[in-house]
């Protein structure tokens, strides 16, 4: 009995040591495996691929006319718009620079801009939207307005000087009184646009706002 106690006091047994080593090895393996799976599942988008930021060009060169025909950017799946007072009054009452996702919020059809009515119309099920993406309540089954991308204006050094408020998957909100941060409101266009480039962040989408009646 005395010898057994002496042996115990000398430290762990060979079996216990191997168990500790095996447990540590398995823990390390599972940790590395988990990190690897996580990194594999993260989206990797290069510039110019949908889901990544797109450099659309110099603001002074690509800015659409106010309340006029939007700029079309198929690779970015984006309409670029300059919302003025007329279209703002029809829609969300906000003026400025917008980038709108080219996919209908009903079943994902690709809608089009209709010059004869100055609005967006979906050929699949008849949903119609004002120029700022606001869904016309009486026109078609889309449940909300068109989604908006976050836009950044960057200077010649690549610094962000203005940015659409909000982040990915935010709901559109232009009312600070409701306690939520503003999201998706148009960017005010600076008086001096020298050297400013328009970047559309196609990985950051703001959900469209509620429909509005054309009878309002």
**3-class DSSP state of 120:** strand
Report residue 158 as tokens: 């690549």
pTM of the full predicted structure?
A: 0.76
Residue boundaries of the structural domains of the chain: 2-41, 53-206
**Mean pLDDT taken over the chain:** 87
Give the per-residue pLDDT at 179: 78
Kindly report the backbone phi and psi dihedral angles of residue 41, in degrees, each rounded to the nearest multiple of 5, phi listed first: -80, -15
Decide if 216 contacts 136 (C-beta within 8 A): no
At residue 24 the predicted structure's pLDDT band, cuts being 50, 70 and 90, is: confident
Distant-in-sequence, close-in-space partners of 146: CB < 8 Å, separation ≥ 6: 100, 101, 104, 105, 111, 120, 129, 133, 135, 208
**What CA–CA distance (Å, rounded) separates 100 from 97?**
10
At residue 176 the predicted structure's pLDDT band, cuts being 50, 70 and 90, is: confident
Higher pLDDT, 32 or 15: 15
Give the per-residue pLDDT at 207: 96
Report residue 183 as tokens: 């999201």
Report residue 2 as tokens: 């005395």
In angstroms, the Cα distances linking 94 to 54, 185, 190 are 24, 7, 15
Q: CATH number for the 53-206 domain, one of 1.10.340.30, 2.70.170.10, 2.102.10.10, 1.20.210.10?
A: 2.102.10.10
Give the per-residue pLDDT at 141: 97
Report residue 148 as tokens: 């908006």
Give the per-residue pLDDT at 124: 95
């Amino acid at each position: 009995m005395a010898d057994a106690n002496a042996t115990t006091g000398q430290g762990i047994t060979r079996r216990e040591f191997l168990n500790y080593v095996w447990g540590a090895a398995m823990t390390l393996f599972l940790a590395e495996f988990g990190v690897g799976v996580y990194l594999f599942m993260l989206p990797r988008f290069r510039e110019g691929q949908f889901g990544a930021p797109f450099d659309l060009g110099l603001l002074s060169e690509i800015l659409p006319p106010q309340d006029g025909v939007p700029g079309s950017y198929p690779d970015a799946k984006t309409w670029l718009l300059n919302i003025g007072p007329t279209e703002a009054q029809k829609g969300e009452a906000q003026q400025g620079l917008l980038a709108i996702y080219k996919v209908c919020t009903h079943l994902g059809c690709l809608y089009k801009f209709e010059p004869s009515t100055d609005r967006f119309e979906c050929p699949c099920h008849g949903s119609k939207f004002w120029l700022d993406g606001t869904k016309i309540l009486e026109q078609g089954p889309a449940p909300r307005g068109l989604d908006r991308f976050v836009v950044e204006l960057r200077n010649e050094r690549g610094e962000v000087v203005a940015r659409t408020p909000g982040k990915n998957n935010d709901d559109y909100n232009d009312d600070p009184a409701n306690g939520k941060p503003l999201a998706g409101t148009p960017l005010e266009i600076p008086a001096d646009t020298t050297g400013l480039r328009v970047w559309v962040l196609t990985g950051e989408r703001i959900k469209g706002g509620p429909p509005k009646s054309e009878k309002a």
